[in-house]
Amino acid sequence: MSRTSLSAVPGGRAAVYAAVGLQGAVVVTFFVAVQLLLNRDYFSLSAAQHAAVYVPLLAAAVVAALFAAKRSRRAARGRVLRLGLALTAAGRAAMIPTVALAVRHGAVFFPDLLIIGALTGAGFALVYSAATAFELDIDPARPERHLLRLTLTLAAGMAVGPLLQIGLLEAGLWWALPLISMMLAVLLIAVSPRSRLGPDAARSCALRHPARPVPTRVKAYVPVAFLAVAGVVISVAWSQVSMIGAIPDEISARVLGLGAFWAALAVLAYAGFSAIDMRASWRRAASLGLFLLPALATVTGLVIGRAETAVVGIFLLAAVVCAALLPPASRLTQEQLVVLPLALVAGVIAIYPVAIAVARPSLNGLRTMGAPLPMIFAMTGIVAIAAAVICAGLIAGRRAYPDQAGPLRAGVPRQPR
């Protein structure tokens, strides 16, 4: 397959990138809409319900990613892309009446939010998996740059989505963004049949070689990395307890402002690490440089006695730390390429809202049990650091992508040299 097979087809790559950008906006604005609308209109969900709202999204995203990577050899990637967009459209269509009824009756039907979250997560994973398959075949031997563009597109959608959501909410048009997202998803389904995406659309969406089992260290990496992410983010959430609000189920605008851009910052930092990884001569110094700015903000806030500045710095630093746990494309084998980053990206996106929802009750519970604050933070920090060190050991032994024997193609065995 020529590296220009997709790019030479008018509208082919544009449709793929538009779908990925839309998914980034949709998956983030689900969190923003739930938190802003529910808190603004005082639909008092408990902390446990707030956290549970996001669990189906994470679970559906991981299951859909695993399906795309392992079980979709007979599914054409064009169909997988359109299925993901269809699930997204269904989730957005369900969001409008759910919120409208909640506004009218002063209560939200909790199971509806769970279903919408599952549709959103599955749509995100299927679209991103199919898009990754397309990008791999543009230049099978050196796909890193194309995958980097895909990641930047995802980050752009995640950054623009909250801005639009907040602006439309302030204008009293909370329903506009779900409606626009649904219409865009339907439009992309209509303009992306096989003829628009080229011959690659008919190829399998499976992203692993059937003869190569996933290494044990890869299977171990996902839960350990997620443990490290959880330890980092719950510590950040605990540091923001005083900013959450006076009412137990209320989250202040300052915390929501940070949380709205959590996913975009984490994915953008991941793109930064991926870009740096392609520059071997100054990889280490540049990687350390990504940690420098948020670290300086944190230290400055502590030195001048401005707690909010320090919290913002800690928030930014946590995003960089979580992104560092997502291995760049050049260090991933074919099996890891989609399963590992998709599972962890979904986790990184979902963990901050969950942590904010359970921050106050969990911290109060630990303190009620007699644990002092320094001990609570120290224990969580030890867990996060230990998990991060284990992650480093698991991934350090992987060979670089260009060193793999032959080009890696989605669902196609490598040809002998």
Q: Which residue has the higher pLDDT, 314 or 349?
A: 314
Q: Does residue 409 sit within a domain?
A: no
Q: Which domain holds residue 298?
A: 12-402
Kindly give, in sequence order, each residue whose CB lies less than 8 Å from that of residue 70, ignoring residues fewer than 6 positions away. Answer: 206, 208, 339
pLDDT (average), residues 397-411? 40
What CA–CA distance (Å, rounded) separates 351 from 151? Answer: 19
Q: Which amino acid is at 300?
A: T
Q: Which residue has the higher pLDDT, 113 or 5?
A: 113
SS3 category, 206: coil
What CA–CA distance (Å, rounded) separates 19 from 41? Answer: 31
> How does pLDDT run across 260-278, given as a tens digit for each residue?
788 888 888 888 888 887 7
The pLDDT-based confidence of 95 (bands split at 50, 70, 90) is: confident
Give me the percent of the chain exceeding a pLDDT of 70: 69
Predicted pLDDT of residue 405: 37
pLDDT (average), residues 370-395? 83
Q: In the predicted model, is pLDDT for residue 20 greater than 90?
A: yes
Q: In the predicted model, is pLDDT for residue 350 greater than 80?
A: no
Q: Does residue 257 sit within a domain?
A: yes
The pLDDT-based confidence of 402 (bands split at 50, 70, 90) is: very low
Q: In the predicted model, is pLDDT for residue 195 greater than 60?
A: no
The pLDDT-based confidence of 92 (bands split at 50, 70, 90) is: very high
**What are 76's strand-pairing partners?**
204
Q: Does residue 411 sit within a domain?
A: no
Q: Does residue 318 sit within a domain?
A: yes
In degrees, rounded to 5, the angle at the alpha carbon of residue 225 between the alpha carbons of residues 228 and 31 is 80
Query: What is the chain's mean pLDDT, rounded?
Result: 75
What CA–CA distance (Å, rounded) separates 365 from 356? Answer: 15
How many structural domains are present in the chain? 1
Q: Which residue has the higher pLDDT, 276 or 341?
A: 276
CATH number of the domain to which 298 belongs: 1.20.1250.20
What CA–CA distance (Å, rounded) separates 159 from 113? Answer: 23
Range in 243-247, 254-258, 280-284 with the lowest mean pLDDT: 243-247
Given a contact cutoff of 8 angstroms between Cβ atoms, the answer to whether 181 and 93 are in contact is no
What CA–CA distance (Å, rounded) separates 371 from 217? Answer: 35
Q: What is the C-alpha radius of gyration for the chain, rounded to an integer number of angstroms?
A: 21
Predicted pLDDT of residue 297: 83
Q: State the pTM of this model.
A: 0.80
What CA–CA distance (Å, rounded) separates 228 from 325? Answer: 8
The pLDDT-based confidence of 156 (bands split at 50, 70, 90) is: very high
The pLDDT-based confidence of 86 (bands split at 50, 70, 90) is: very high
Q: Does residue 67 sit within a domain?
A: yes
Kindly give, in sequence order, each residue whose CB lies less than 8 Å from that of residue 306, ignoring residues fewer than 6 positions away. Answer: 300
